[in-house]
Amino acid sequence: MTAEVAAAVERAYRHEWARVFAAVARLTRDFDLAEECTQDAYAQALRTWPQSGVPERPGAWLTTSARNRALDVLRHQAVLRRTLPLFVPDGPVAGPEDDLVDDDRLRLVFTCCHPALSRDAQVALTLRLVCGLSTAEVARAFLVQESTMAARITRAKKKIAAARIPYQVPSPDHLAERLGPVLEVVHLIFTTGHIAPVGAFLVRRDLVDSAVGLARMLHLLMPKDAEVGALLALLLLIDARRDARVSDDGRLLLLSEQDRTRWDRRLIGEGIGLLTDALRRRPPTRYAVEAAIAAVHAEAPSWPETDWPEIVGLYDTLLQLWPSPVVELNRAVAVGFRDGPQAGLDALTPLLAEPALATYGYLSAVRADFLRQLRQWTEAAEAYQESLALTDNEVERAFLADRLAEVQLRSGHEYP
């Protein structure tokens, strides 16, 4: 019974935290008090559910409990000295027709990702307040001391209160520009989790799950927004490969090496459905094109049978929507597969002078791979060494070290 209750509370923590916290925050107009009351409600659930049983709607139970606790505190507030001014409350969400669901979670996420906050602060607040990660967990994810992260979160809360960043969903004419940073934060949390920059684990499940959960929540609340649907599609299509990305001995597997039977077909189907819907709306967005690239990979029966001309074409589109050296690099990779390693190497050459890629280990790794295929062993070895020097993730390093050993062996055995 107790184990069952503990599991139910944990499930409610994962799925209902944002709903409970966001509702209480609108009442308290103070994030610190709302956090306290939300934590109290979960603690109370652990105490009372073993006797009373798990309620039918745990989220509603927790929200009521947290709100009651908040009302109690607010009644006695006259005697408390406030450290922060209250933030600005808001009426119902003024959504155009049914494009938005009136939900406190939307107010919360738009407030946490307000452009007047730095990106670091947006990400930290979103993980702490919307996803309910502890300060220690957020600190670990971004490789900073817990005290540093605590200070960052406190500073961001102070700015929200002192500059009076409103607790509201932006008006329809500002919605598109305000949604941009929200989606970027979700995408950043996902990519940070998907390729943890440092350490022994290639994937940080908690971050990936937080990002997918956020994208699902946004899609639920903004079902008609094509860009939200496209981002969710992208995350699902990439996450579908998670069981196939690392070998049993912990080695990173390239897309070409992955066992495609281990891809999650249910997630792929869901992602493609969302993408099809998003692509029906014009114009295509950045995330839709990225999701389309992931979908082409997901539907290819094998690596050699991938539709490379389609992939190159999609990267061309993406470059127009989202010009970036990293996209150019990925395009060059696809060109290499469409037209052979020499063409890929040629497409890569202009990028070698790109300062934004100077410390990007992946560029050297891709170059090394083309050189390896061209049997230019010495140059390939140099490129692998360069890539190793720029990569901190231990699983990726192990992969590069293997390849380096392979080309070094070959270079010793073949005459120039």
If phi > 0 it is left, if psi is from -120 to 50 it is alpha, else beta; for residue 259 that is: beta
Q: Closer CB to other proteins, residue 160 or residue 345?
A: 160
Shortest separation between residue 285's beta carbon and other proteins, angstroms: 23
Give every CB contact of residue 54 below 8 A, 6+ residues apart in sequence.
Answer: 4, 5, 8
CA-based nearest residue to 29, from 160, 155, 126: 160
Is the alpha carbon torsion for 401, 404, 405, 406 positive or negative? Answer: positive
Q: Closer CB to other proteins, residue 3 or residue 79?
A: 79
Residues 344-363 that bind other proteins (CB under 8 A): none
Which region, judged by CB under 8 A, interacts with other proteins, from 81-89, 264-272, 357-365, 381-389? Answer: 81-89
Residue 28 contacts other proteins per CB under 8 A: no
Q: Closer CB to other proteins, residue 115 or residue 273?
A: 115
Burial of 228 (0-12, 13-18, 19+ CB in 10 A): buried
Which region, judged by CB under 8 A, interacts with other proteins, from 118-126, 146-154, 164-172, 339-347? Answer: 164-172
Residue 168 contacts other proteins per CB under 8 A: yes
Q: Which residue has the tokens 């082409």?
A: 296
Shortest separation between residue 53's beta carbon and other proteins, angstroms: 43
How far does Cα 209 stand from its chain's mean position? 8
**326, 357 contact by CB (below 8 A):** yes
Residue 86 contacts other proteins per CB under 8 A: no
Residue 158 contacts other proteins per CB under 8 A: no
Helices 58-75 + 31-52 axis angle, to 10: 130
Residue 82 contacts other proteins per CB under 8 A: yes
Site map (CB under 8 A) of other proteins, residues 95-114, x = contact: -------------------x
Is residue 196 classed as helix, strand or coil in its secondary structure? coil
Residue 162 contacts other proteins per CB under 8 A: yes
Residue 273 contacts other proteins per CB under 8 A: no
Q: Can you give the binding site for other proteins, defined by CB under 8 A? A: 82, 85, 88, 114, 116, 162-166, 168, 170, 174
